[in-house]
């Protein structure tokens, strides 16, 4: 688990003011005094959310099948496909090649075919809104099309394009988004993947960045071409479909534990959800006291609880202690009202085994030579499997400074296991300079 070399990142001058430890601590304290963790006070919806973490395999019937069922069932559900998060054909050099194209139109065709011909939707239609057709968000024809649907699929790409195409300049709903919201309130299902999930956030929607940069430099509200790995977010948020905490996607595969923890602390959120690839969080009764969040798919969903977190400094750099991490795998459920995990798997409490040596690249660095997806989850799983150990730690790939992640079996720690799937709750996490 030890690497021969690590990336050293040189110091740079501050280009914008990030939230320091004192400001972040005040934000977190204010959140703890508030009765809700919601981004905004959205009315409860009667529809369901299927929030996928990206890279959902075409064969993943647990995810796509759940969406079709929640939308009304095979041979019944008409689905609207929104791929406005994608590039437009005019910006896609492969637009004329069906095998390699990656744009709003060809991605729309792909999902229409997948949902209708593979998963049996009664109908699936592309909603013709993208950066080349923003005015369609006010078209009565498009609104009529939306009003005929019982399910809506938001594809991946860049969530800022969804902001640009479906929200007005004053952050209000376009007629098309207002129609989708009304259908959702009336019982329609909404599925997102990658950016299509992230856009479901309320306030403080993450828009980019890497974990090391977030821990080192903090969070910013604007993107700089000179610092593409900075942690950035949109304070106004996304579409506010999901209000139980912050959302992040491609989570463990890209080591985003550090970035969403820093963003939550900086912006005063006490809970964040990180959804893994080829996996979805199925949200029943979203926004209500009866909300239940259930995991389907091949990997897992992280829930980070910052209610007991302490923000400070260590060796002159930002640090956080006492973040409680739960990791749910297929079949497990989370209750936002009670902050609790339930699992149908057998309880797991091995009596033997110890952890190995220190882990490296715990934030699955984007540096091209590393190749360590799911590293933090793998480290946690090693600790869960080690019945005689209570603690394990690892360090970042980047240095200057090197950040450390410590995991401890804290108060209330529990685990479950079925086959190779391991779930746990209340694994205490500490992030600070090594």
Digit-coded pLDDT (tens) for 103-130: 999 999 999 999 999 999 999 999 999 9
DSSP secondary structure letter of residue 173: B
- pTM for the model: 0.92
Is position 92 annotated as part of the catalytic site? no
Taking the CA of residue 400 as centre, how many other CA atoms within 13 Å lie in the half-sphere pointing to its CB?
9
Of 87, 132, 213, 293, the catalytic one is: 213
Query: Which H or E element spans position 320?
Result: strand 317-329
Residue for token digits 């240095």?
399
Coil, helix or strand for 409?
strand
pLDDT at 370: 73
Is position 213 annotated as part of the catalytic site? yes
Q: Cβ neighbours of residue 266 under 8 Å, at least 6 residues apart?
A: 18, 19, 23, 24, 27, 218, 219
pLDDT tens figures, 142-191: 999 999 999 999 999 999 999 999 999 999 999 999 999 999 999 999 99
- For the stretch 173-178, contacts whose Cβ atoms lie closer than 8 Å and that sit 24 or more positions apart, written own/partner, are 174/137, 174/138, 175/137, 175/138, 175/139, 175/140, 175/143, 176/127, 176/129, 176/136, 176/137, 176/138, 176/139, 176/142, 176/143, 176/146, 177/137, 177/239
Of 48, 194, 219, 396, the catalytic one is: 194
The alpha carbons of the chain give a radius of gyration, in whole angstroms, of 21
* The pLDDT of residue 141 is above 60: yes
Of 87, 132, 244, 250, the catalytic one is: 250
pLDDT at 45: 72
Give 97-118 as a 3 state SS string.
CCCCCCCHHHHHHHHHHHHHHH
Q: Can you give the residue ranges of every domain in the chain?
A: 43-307
Is position 372 annotated as part of the catalytic site? no
How far apart CA 320 and CA 151 sit, in angstroms, is 40
pLDDT tens figures, 361-385: 999 998 867 789 999 999 999 999 9
How far apart CA 112 and CA 392 sit, in angstroms, is 46
SS percent in the chain: helix, strand, coil, step 5: 25, 30, 45
Coil, helix or strand for 307?
coil
Fold of 43-307: Rossmann fold (3.40.50)
Q: pLDDT band at residue 12, thresholds of 50, 70 and 90?
A: very low
Q: Cβ neighbours of residue 184 under 8 Å, at least 6 residues apart?
A: 45, 47, 152, 190, 241
How far apart CA 280 and CA 403 sit, in angstroms, is 29
How far apart CA 389 and CA 354 sit, in angstroms, is 5
Distance of CA 63 to the CA centre of its chain: 16
Higher per-residue pLDDT: 348 or 45: 348
Q: pLDDT band at residue 11, thresholds of 50, 70 and 90?
A: very low
Terminal CA-CA length for the chain: 17
């Amino acid at each position: 688990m030890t690497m021969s070399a690590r990336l050293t990142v040189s110091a740079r001058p501050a280009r914008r003011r990030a939230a320091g430890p004192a400001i972040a601590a005040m934000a977190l304290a204010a959140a703890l005094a508030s009765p809700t963790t919601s981004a905004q006070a959205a009315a409860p919806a009667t529809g369901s959310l299927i929030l996928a973490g990206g890279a959902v395999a075409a064969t993943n019937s647990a995810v796509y099948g759940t969406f079709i069922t929640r939308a009304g069932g095979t041979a019944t559900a008409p689905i609207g496909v929104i791929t406005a998060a994608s590039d437009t054909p005019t910006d896609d050099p492969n637009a004329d090649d069906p095998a390699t194209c990656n744009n709003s139109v060809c991605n729309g065709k792909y999902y229409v075919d997948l949902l209708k011909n593979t998963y049996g939707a009664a109908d699936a239609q592309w909603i013709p809104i993208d950066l080349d057709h923003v005015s369609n968000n006010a078209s009565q024809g498009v609104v009529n099309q939306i009003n005929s649907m019982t399910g809506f699929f938001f594809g991946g790409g860049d969530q800022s394009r969804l902001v640009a195409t479906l929200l007005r300049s004053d952050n209000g709903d376009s007629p098309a988004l207002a129609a989708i919201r009304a259908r959702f309130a009336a019982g329609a299902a909404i599925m997102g993947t990658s950016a299509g999930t992230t856009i479901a956030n309320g306030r403080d929607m993450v828009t980019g960045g890497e974990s090391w940069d977030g821990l080192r430099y903090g969070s910013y509200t604007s993107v700089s071409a000179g610092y593409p790995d900075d942690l950035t977010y949109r304070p106004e948020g996304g579409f506010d479909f999901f209000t139980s905490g912050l959302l992040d996607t491609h989570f463990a595969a890209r080591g985003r534990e550090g970035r969403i923890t820093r963003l939550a602390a900086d912006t005063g959120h006490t809970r964040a959800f990180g959804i893994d690839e080829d996996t979805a969080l199925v949200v029943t009764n979203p926004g209500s006291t009866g909300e239940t969040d259930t995991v389907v798919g091949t990997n897992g969903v992280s829930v980070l609880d910052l209610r007991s977190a302490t923000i400070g400094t260590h060796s002159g750099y930002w640090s956080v202690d006492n973040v409680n991490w739960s990791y749910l795998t297929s079949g497990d459920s989370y209750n936002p009202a009670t902050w609790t995990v339930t699992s149908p798997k057998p309880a797991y409490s091995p009596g033997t085994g110890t952890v190995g040596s220190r882990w490296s690249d715990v934030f699955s660095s984007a540096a091209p030579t590393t190749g360590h997806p799911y590293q933090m989850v793998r480290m946690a799983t090693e600790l869960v499997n080690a019945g005689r150990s209570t603690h394990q730690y690892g360090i970042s790939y980047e240095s200057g400074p090197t950040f450390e992640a410590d995991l401890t079996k804290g108060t209330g720690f529990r685990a479950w296991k079925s086959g190779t799937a391991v779930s746990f709750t209340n694994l205490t996490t500490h992030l600070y300079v090594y």
